[in-house]
Structure 1
Amino acid sequence: MSLVTKPFPLAALIAVLAAPSVNARALSIELKNAAEVVTITPASLKLDWQTTNQTSMTVNSPNLTVNGKPQTINQLVQPSPHQAEWTLKPSNIHVKASLKDNLTLSFSLDNNVIIARNHPMTLAWFDLPQKETQTLYLPFSEGMRIPINNATWGKYLEQNHSGANTTQDLKMPFWTAKNSDRYVTVQLLNATNNRLVFSSTQKQVDMFASHQFTPLNQTEPFDVQISLDDQRLDGAKRYRQYRINQGLATPLAEKIKTTPNVAKMIGASQVYLFGSDGISPEDVVNWWQLKDWYFTRSTLAIPTEANKELKALTQGKDWLSHYHKQLLVDSINASLRTKYPAPLPTLTNNGIAAQFKAVQLRKKWLAQHAQPYLNNSKKWGQALSEDMIASLKNSGIHKLWLGLDNWIPAFYQPEMVDKAKQAGYLVATYDSYNTAIPLGLNDGWLTAQLPNAMRKQCAIELADGTKKKGFRGNGYYLNPICDLKYVQQRVKDIVKYGRFNSLFLDVDGTAMAREDYHAKSNESQMLNGFNNRMDWIAKNTGVVLGSEDGNSLTTTGTAFAHGLETVGFGWTDKDMKSNKNSPYYLGRWYPDHKPDFFFKSAKVKAPYKTLLFAPQYRVPLYQTVFHDEVINSHHWHSDSLKFSNVQTERDLISMLYNTPAMIHLSRDEAKSVNSPRIKALKHYQAGYEPIHQQLWNKQLIDFKWLDNKGNIQQTRFSDGSIITANFSGEPFKYGQDQLAAHSLVAELITGEKVYWSSKAFN
């Protein structure tokens, strides 16, 4: 049956709907606003938009169902030319439509409808009009540009993103589609309880969206806003303005007023320091005497592996390899943890003060008993040591964010934290309150060492009655609304004893919203829980706060984020995960002080190499919204030096969008200003710092290609500054200049020009 294309008069519609028949599914109505007309088929939600120049385009294909079943319509009314409302049957979902600049759709459930706990009502409402669409712009990361007729993209989206939610997975709750010469943006005003499905039919990308009404959210309407624009960034600009209008945006300039240290993020590259124990091989001055003392006079409990591998070795006969030296140091550190353990936390005592005391006792005891074989205890450390801070300072790098993967290094050497802060750096620890594991299961996973009572009472209960398993199936994921006072006190204690002026709070910024049937909190309330927790930390501790992703729904209180410039990918790919002979193998998760996973160089395999890193498939959606609000960088799994065969692309994209580099450092990689990673950090800083100093409080307002292949790209900022990047291997004639291969120039409004090229540092 073909759909009726000419709208019925309203009186005729009402007559038909009074006695619904199959023909009612084909009836359509018109909404008018000035010269624009939107034709809606209520039962199928086919949407056709006639613009001011009389051209018409389909912005939604007809495919509406509820729980997989087509609907009829009832109670249709149109109180004005730009408004209409009706009820879907038999689901009893009430729909309102309004055309004022944008088309707004609102779906709400009748109060009399009863939804069973494990049987949500699924409204499938969006179907991408494939024939009319040329390109999709999706914020699954910073921004993906997806040609509809690209079969590789279709397969990738189907395998990796089908079933994605629009809170955590979609980093901002909108998408834009190029339709003829216009851009159609769909913004989810209620971003929770939604799913996206992708398919690659007929070698084309297709996308569908649905919303679920559940017992916990059924009183919340589901609202959608659809707009037509002229440029690919206009949808992102609309979302930015929406956040401003709703009071959700807090620019960095405002954050500096309440937390002055946020200013230290301006122009600062970002560094993770690895290693969490008291001493490292660099602290040993006499290996054989240290080994002899450890096995014969220390009285420490010695691990089995050390007894097996080290005890029988003798000076003059054997050789202490790098492996032996590291094992000796690791064993001493482990023995000290056994000698001075920290008590497990309880709801009334988080154990942070006890951890600090235990760490100081380990350090004091070792200094008293093994000092002749080690350098001065003030110089000890793995992630944080005096020589590391000196190398960074002496390299001429004055602005840095330094992150530790836990707070123990700062407990060993709080004076080094002070020295780093005196150098102008921000020093942060990684922290998290989203997974709790049974106490004693993995004592090295500090953030998950939460009281058993909290693990049980705060665990998220799913609709089927089970508790949500935590990270990698360990323990349980927790509801952020639960036991907030415990979190607040632990954060305060970590900041106090570690002397931190920054904090990285994992997961909270990802908008990982779930329904919790134990607490009877829905996804919207959980998002509020994350935001309230981050807001409290930012306002009550004085730290510069950051979180994972910096998802648009959970940015309250944050000044920076890690994740969107390079997202995690290929989690189940065998070559990347487990094939140690593959050039794509990401590496082992050890040794603890310098895990291969973070430091080993790897290549990126197809199709990730092209789809995720080719500049032709990237677009700065996130930076259009957040450039002057949240400073985003790579996910810590993938620092700027991780991937050898896409380093140039990542470098230039980062500089083009004006986002900071991220470098991982271990103590042996930071011995001198001439170490490759220090030199790389200095090179990134030479380009990023002067550009960001000018642009940190400016909006990214334009993005375009200067050629037809996307090898030459340009961003423009609200002050008039322009950055132009040459991704090709050939020089490009740009004005009166030659822009070298794999380089860029930033033409700042001040008249300064900053030239920068991507370089390899091996």
Structure 2
Amino acid sequence: MKKKVKKLVIPILMSSICLTLPSMSYAQQTNSMIKVENTVSQYKNFTFDVNPETGELFVEKDGVRESASLPLPKKKVENLIRSNNCISWSYPDDQVDVKIEKKESYLSIKLKSTKSEGANEFTWPKVSADSYTLPLWEGKNIPSNDSSWKQFLGNQDFSFIESFSMRFFALNKSKYSIMYIADNMYNDNIHFTADSNIQFSFTHQYPSINKNKEYGFRLYVTDKNPVSIANIYKNFIKEQGEFKTLEEKAKENPNIRKLYGAPHIYFWNHPGISVENIKWDKFAQKIDEKFTNWIAQLLQVNTEDGSKDFETVMQDIKKQKSINKSQQKVIVDAINHVLQLEQLYNKDIFGGLGTQTNDLLKKGIYNLSEQELYTLNKELIKSKLTDAVDRINQWEQKESTDVLTDIKKSGINQAWIGLSNWANGLMNPKMVEEANKLGYLIGPYDSYHSIHEVGSRDWNTASFKDKTLYQNATISNEKGEKIEGFAGKGRKLNPTLSLPSVKQRVGDILQNNIPFNSWFVDCDATGEVYDDYSPNHITTEEQDVKARLERMKYISQEKHMVVGSEGGNDFASTVIAFAHGIETIGPGPWLDSDMGDKKSLYYLGGYKPTSPNGAVPEQLGKTIPIKPIFKDIYSNPIYSIPLYKLVYNDSIITTHQWGWGSFRIKDEIGNRMLSEMLYNVPPLYQIDKNEWEKNKSLIISYLKVWSPFHKKAVTKPMTNFDILSEDRQVQSTTFGKDMKVIVNFSNQDFKYNNEHIKAKTALVYDGKKKRILEVPKY
């Protein structure tokens, strides 16, 4: 039985807050609907009723009355004004004004702080439902009584702008859904409780530094399915002028079309020289103790690990007839490290240099570009090792350029190639040039999120030429404390003060015409944003976001790069072309300490490679098991819904976060292929020469089905999503009018419309053409 709401008897007053519209009573009921993008979903009129003392809100449609907000502790109410379609009041103790007004097809809800100084916060609404449709990552349907979700969400706080990929949530009731779209995504927090069933509350902070003292929602009543909910949101985004298709973006930069049908590949190789480039039988003869002592000295000063391993190996090989593989790796790692250092040249060590080398030295080492420095240092190393090493233009080519060429020969015509660092490209420009010739996108990882006081080559994204930034451009919280950088190191850089450094860094990287055509900017689309209370550069979360978008727009428009970012939350939708993290962003040690424990079965992995002489770090490329609760939360298809794709399929290409690529989760690789097919999501691979050879046949067979479908479907909106079986294991998606995928995630065959769908299989329709994707064994 529903609790009866206390009625307040008041006269109807005219006011500047609530205007009377005689043509429609706020309690008038009708069954009329609005047609939204070919789906009858949004109910135009409905009853609403509210108790101002508790904030309890009800809506009613077709005689079915549902709670839109639970009662909160009773508050003192003043200035209560009710008109035909509007009600407003004040909470004097909280210094908050509330206004609820019936528009043509939704409720407009505004909550404004009247506090003149200082900060305050306000909690409303607090909600409960049978299940929730939430844009957590790609999208989730969460039953309120589900044990896994109760454990995961219970008593947890989520930043709204960071954790929700789009700015809405929906409550699924007995006959319809109630949908809230937030009109202010900044300074919002969602708090979940699960004492019995899952409930949550929405709290908005009114920071003292922010002049905008209002937040609110549009509340819609709609059909109880994700397609209806997504269509309402998509129409809202278009109304705001915030929707831009990939084809519209491609008119500005045609290279964006290279993403169509393209897998995303983080490509790993050792920048500089490889083990295979050294003739080890001759190397021992070329050892110059003065030279090796100089390398050891540079390592000692410029690396965290120092030179102990290198010095030990150099001592040991004096006593040996041959150099074993582990010793070879230590030597190569040492050479590759000093190749990056301005300090490598020493006139007492290096003599008899060629014309090109001397020309570079005449410029002055500290006047060289980064690419020129690497060219110089390669020449210096070659001058000492002479015929014990290959010609410089052959260095690392078997592990890089040759692998890319083989990928192309294997039938992969389009691909996004991501490098872990721009230095990998500047050290190996031949590889970047070849990727361009093959028709691929290739670009570096970049970041402007953290800054270190003392920069280093090992973490060059946190190093900036402007040395005043660390003291003068970093973020302070309300207490005046500096916000720590990633992994607790350094500080967070204020984005509003970063653009000159962005222009400087990007310009420096590109100054010798390295042909990068894509750029990945870490963190900028994640929603990890801040209010900065530093007196000299006070900044709101909204200004933080605008500055992040501005720097990505600069790289995109001024430098003509195909730009992507981590996350992909939709405030960045008009700026970026692709995003890593919407589809899968997995757990970590902050959720489960076993994932950081080297002795645990669930250890994420360290920095060492996944295979001998490989380059992919374990923490990115190792296939690992995850605990059952995390499989449920992040992978179980019964909870997953393509909310983001229903809105943005033809606007942003989204895939997994790089730490959770397609082969990452043990026993889930087949399911992830099926979900990539179903949701039109590019697979994401961590590849070096060894990983390519290991997974080559599997990747090729999958992409033969996935790539041609994605290439066409990504230019169309996702128009439908259906659950076809009671256990939610058989699902279908539709793109445009005649492209469709049906996936059977279960271990049992399934019949649908005279189609026999085998277990672990996808049926892929392109018009009248049908292909079958059977999950291969891995």
Would you say same fold, with TM above 0.5? yes
Counterpart in 1 of 2:406? 391
Task: Pick closer, same or farther for the CA change 1:11–1:382 going to 2, 3 Å.
Answer: farther
Contact (CA 8 Å) 2:616, 2:686: kept in 1 or not? no
1:456 maps to 2:491: no
1:446 maps to 2:460: yes
For residues 483-502 of structure 1, the aligned pairs below 5 Å read: 483-497=498-512, 498-502=514-518
> Quick one: which amino acid aligns to residue 516 of structure 2?
F
Percent identity between the aligned chains?
A: 25
1:215 maps to 2:225: no
1:105 maps to 2:123: no
- Cα distance in 2 for partners of 1:390, 1:732 equals 41
- Cα distance in 2 for partners of 1:277, 1:355 equals 13
Contact (CA 8 Å) 2:260, 2:712: kept in 1 or not? no
- Cα distance in 1 for partners of 2:622, 2:748 equals 30
The DSSP-based 3-state class of the residue aligned with 2:550 is helix
Task: Pick closer, same or farther for the CA change 1:341–1:760 going to 2, 3 Å.
Answer: farther
For residues 547-566 of structure 1, the aligned pairs below 5 Å read: 547-566=565-584
Counterpart in 1 of 2:771? 754
Task: Pick closer, same or farther for the CA change 1:3–1:397 going to 2, 3 Å.
Answer: closer
Counterpart in 2 of 1:411? 426
The DSSP-based 3-state class of the residue aligned with 2:628 is coil
For residues 142-221 of structure 1, the aligned pairs below 5 Å read: 142-158=138-154, 162-202=156-196, 204-221=197-214
Counterpart in 2 of 1:47? 57
Contact (CA 8 Å) 1:270, 1:662: kept in 2 or not? yes
Counterpart in 2 of 1:115? 117
1:710 maps to 2:728: yes
Contact (CA 8 Å) 1:503, 1:546: kept in 2 or not? yes
Residue 676 of structure 1, aligned match among 667, 691, 694: 694
Counterpart in 2 of 1:507? 523
- Cα distance in 2 for partners of 1:635, 1:82 equals 46
1:237 maps to 2:231: yes
Query: How far 1:492 moved relative to its partner?
Result: 3.1
Give CA deviations for 1:248-292 in whole Å, capped at 9, x if unaligned: 1111010000001001000000000124520122323x2232244
- Cα distance in 1 for partners of 2:141, 2:133 equals 5
- Cα distance in 2 for partners of 1:544, 1:383 equals 27
Contact (CA 8 Å) 1:275, 1:593: kept in 2 or not? yes
Query: How far 1:32 moved relative to its partner?
Result: 4.3
CA RMSD of aligned residues (A): 2.5
1:134 maps to 2:149: no
Contact (CA 8 Å) 1:115, 1:214: kept in 2 or not? no
1:326 maps to 2:325: no
Query: How far 1:357 moved relative to its partner?
Result: 1.8
Contact (CA 8 Å) 2:405, 2:438: kept in 1 or not? no
Query: How far 1:574 moved relative to its partner?
Result: 5.6
- Cα distance in 2 for partners of 1:526, 1:359 equals 35
Query: How far 1:716 moved relative to its partner?
Result: 1.6
Query: How far 1:589 moved relative to its partner?
Result: 1.9
Task: Pick closer, same or farther for the CA change 1:479–1:353 going to 2, 3 Å.
Answer: farther
For residues 360-759 of structure 1, the aligned pairs below 5 Å read: 360-381=375-396, 385-440=400-455, 442-450=456-464, 451-497=466-512, 498-518=514-534, 519-572=537-590, 576-591=594-609, 593-670=615-692, 675-749=693-767, 751-759=768-776
Contact (CA 8 Å) 1:33, 1:82: kept in 2 or not? no
- Cα distance in 1 for partners of 2:325, 2:180 equals 57
1:306 maps to 2:316: no
> Quick one: which amino acid aligns to residue 262 of structure 2?
A
> Quick one: which amino acid aligns to residue 157 of structure 1?
L
1:225 maps to 2:218: yes
Give CA deviations for 1:66-110 in whole Å, capped at 9, x if unaligned: xxxx5222112234x212222112222111111121111011122
Counterpart in 1 of 2:86? 83
Residue 72 of structure 2, aligned match among 43, 51, 63: 63
Task: Pick closer, same or farther for the CA change 1:329–1:729 going to 2, 3 Å.
Answer: same
Task: Pick closer, same or farther for the CA change 1:517–1:579 going to 2, 3 Å.
Answer: closer
Counterpart in 2 of 1:346? none
Counterpart in 1 of 2:18? none
Query: How far 1:384 moved relative to its partner?
Result: 6.7
Contact (CA 8 Å) 1:32, 1:99: kept in 2 or not? no
Number of aligned residue pairs: 714
- Cα distance in 2 for partners of 1:382, 1:604 equals 36
Contact (CA 8 Å) 1:661, 1:684: kept in 2 or not? no
- Cα distance in 1 for partners of 2:367, 2:437 equals 25
Contact (CA 8 Å) 1:531, 1:556: kept in 2 or not? no
Task: Pick closer, same or farther for the CA change 1:589–1:42 going to 2, 3 Å.
Answer: same
The DSSP-based 3-state class of the residue aligned with 2:191 is strand
The DSSP-based 3-state class of the residue aligned with 2:339 is helix
The DSSP-based 3-state class of the residue aligned with 2:101 is strand
> Quick one: which amino acid aligns to residue 244 of structure 1?
K
Q: TM-score, normalised on structure 1?
A: 0.89
Contact (CA 8 Å) 1:558, 1:630: kept in 2 or not? yes
Contact (CA 8 Å) 2:448, 2:498: kept in 1 or not? no
Task: Pick closer, same or farther for the CA change 1:188–1:694 going to 2, 3 Å.
Answer: same
Contact (CA 8 Å) 2:170, 2:229: kept in 1 or not? yes
Task: Pick closer, same or farther for the CA change 1:357–1:613 going to 2, 3 Å.
Answer: same
The DSSP-based 3-state class of the residue aligned with 1:272 is strand
Contact (CA 8 Å) 1:341, 1:358: kept in 2 or not? no
Structure 2 residue runs of 5 or longer lacking an equivalent are 15-24, 31-44, 297-306, 346-364
Contact (CA 8 Å) 2:731, 2:743: kept in 1 or not? yes
Structure 1 residue runs of 5 or longer lacking an equivalent are 15-28, 65-69, 343-349
Contact (CA 8 Å) 1:747, 1:754: kept in 2 or not? yes
The DSSP-based 3-state class of the residue aligned with 1:616 is coil
Contact (CA 8 Å) 1:534, 1:556: kept in 2 or not? no
Give CA deviations for 1:493-539 in whole Å, capped at 9, x if unaligned: 32444320000000111122210112222111211111222222211
- Cα distance in 1 for partners of 2:182, 2:398 equals 43
The DSSP-based 3-state class of the residue aligned with 1:106 is strand
